[in-house]
């Protein structure tokens, strides 16, 4: 973070200030050494101030992920999400979201093989993260169901959880299934999304 960046961060509302400072701390110290003390130091505030906004380190990490989903990832998905419902466009939404998520700088730290199990717990046990995922995917699934592209009898919350799980696996193990984009598209179309299409 540059001096100008640091000055800009200090002008933000407190919660936003903490969220702006935290990613650099995570990248610098890694997940295992990521502490509220270091975040407080980077934000130029007292440690106790952080706890007025985030009850724990995990809550702060979850907020960082949600911030990225809503501020950076969502706008990059607008074009593909807005396309006419079809199986191929559903596949494209999945693959585009996968690509966007994989570009998140903090994923290299959060999804390190040594820390990925903890990241998985954070992701799948967080009602806040799943609420954001559902807010993103449920309207897509509903629209696709109305057009007869996906099954109309789906439990949408369970379907979103399934999609999120598959995406997490592919982000954390990008070359295990295949490193060929055409093959990956076929796996997604035929198997990962195959059970939800009409």
pLDDT tens profile 20-51: 999 899 888 887 788 999 999 999 999 999 99
Angle, nearest 10°, between helix axes 127-146 and 57-67?
30
Q: What average pLDDT score do residues 180-188 get?
A: 94
Write down the domain spans for the chain: 1-54, 56-192
Structure confidence at residue 3 (pLDDT): 45
Residues in CB range of 62: below 8 A, 6 or more apart: 122, 126, 128, 129
**Least trusted range by pLDDT, from 57-61, 147-151, 152-156, 175-179:** 175-179
Angle, nearest 10°, between helix axes 36-43 and 14-29?
120
Structure confidence at residue 72 (pLDDT): 83
Both tokens assigned to 189:
């179309």
Dihedral over alpha carbons 168, 173, 179, 184 (to 10 degrees): -30
User: Alpha-carbon distance 22 to 2, whole Å?
Assistant: 15
What average pLDDT is seen over the chain? 87
User: Alpha-carbon distance 94 to 98, whole Å?
Assistant: 6
Structure confidence at residue 187 (pLDDT): 95
Count of beta carbons in the 10 Å neighbourhood of residue 48:
9
**Least trusted range by pLDDT, from 28-32, 63-67, 176-180:** 28-32
Structure confidence at residue 180 (pLDDT): 92
pLDDT tens profile 2-26: 444 555 555 568 999 999 999 899 8
CATH topology of domain 1-54: Arc Repressor Mutant, subunit A (1.10.10)
Tokens 């050494």 belong to residue: 33
pLDDT tens profile 110-155: 666 676 777 778 788 889 999 999 999 999 999 999 999 999 999 9
1 pLDDT more than 80: no
The more confident residue out of 9 and 185 is: 185
């Amino acid at each position: 973070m540059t001096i100008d960046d640091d000055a800009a961060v200090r002008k933000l509302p407190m919660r936003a200030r903490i969220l702006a400072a935290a990613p650099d701390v995570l990248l610098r110290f890694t997940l295992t050494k990521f502490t509220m003390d270091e975040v407080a130091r980077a934000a130029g505030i007292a440690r106790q101030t952080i706890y007025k906004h985030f009850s724990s380190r995990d809550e702060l990490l979850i907020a960082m992920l949600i911030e990225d989903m809503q501020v950076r990832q969502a706008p990059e998905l607008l074009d593909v999400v807005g396309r006419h419902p079809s199986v191929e466009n559903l596949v494209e939404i999945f693959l585009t979201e996968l690509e966007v998520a994989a570009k998140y700088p903090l994923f290299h730290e959060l999804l390190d093989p040594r820390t990925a199990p903890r990241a998985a717990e954070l992701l799948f046990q967080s009602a806040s993260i799943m609420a954001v995922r559902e807010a993103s995917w449920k309207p897509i699934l509903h629209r696709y169901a109305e057009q007869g592209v996906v099954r109309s009898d789906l439990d949408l919350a369970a379907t979103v959880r399934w999609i999120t799980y598959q995406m997490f696996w592919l982000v954390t193990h990008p070359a295990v299934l295949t490193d060929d984009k055409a093959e990956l598209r076929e796996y997604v179309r035929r198997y990962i999304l195959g059970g939800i299409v009409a």
